[in-house]
Amino acid sequence: MASSTALDAALDALPYLLDQQAQAVLDGQADALPGLSVILNSRLAALRASITRLPTPEQQDRLRALHGRARANQDMLNRRQLDVQRAIDALGQGDPLLQSAQSNRVYAAAGMLTAPAVRGRGFVQA
């Protein structure tokens, strides 16, 4: 029964974090998302470690509900990323340096999107 209690504790930690993640996306708080992702990943690791036998039907229902919420958050993130990309594309219209930088974007080994720096352009700090 100890593993059931550990699994329940791991399941209890996730709804609040998923709510925080969704709210950060809705509020446009992109800076909060990396930290929340680190915490969510550690909680998911704890969840995986706590599953030592087949979850009860109630735990399976909770897992399915959490999966649905996580999927909804991911869909929100994907839509926000598309919106941001459209805004960046619109800003780059007519600027050959920005268009060149956008066309040279690549994914690094860790899956992070990177782009070369736009050279020869000075920006004034407000």
For residue 86, the number of C-alpha atoms closer than 13 Å in the C-beta half-sphere is: 6
* ∠ Cα 53 11 29 (to 5°): 140
Q: pTM of the prediction?
A: 0.69
Residue 11: count other Cβ atoms within 10 Å of its Cβ: 19
Does 4 have pLDDT greater than 60? yes
Give the separation between CA 86 and CA 77, rounded to whole angstroms.
14
The 8-class DSSP code of residue 30 comes to G
Tens digits of residue pLDDT in 74-117: 999 999 999 988 888 888 787 787 777 777 766 666 555 555 55
Helices (H), the chain: 2-26, 33-50, 57-92, 96-103
Tens digits of residue pLDDT in 54-86: 899 999 999 999 999 999 999 999 999 999 888
Residue type, 55: P
**Cβ proximity of 105 and 98 under 8 Å:** no
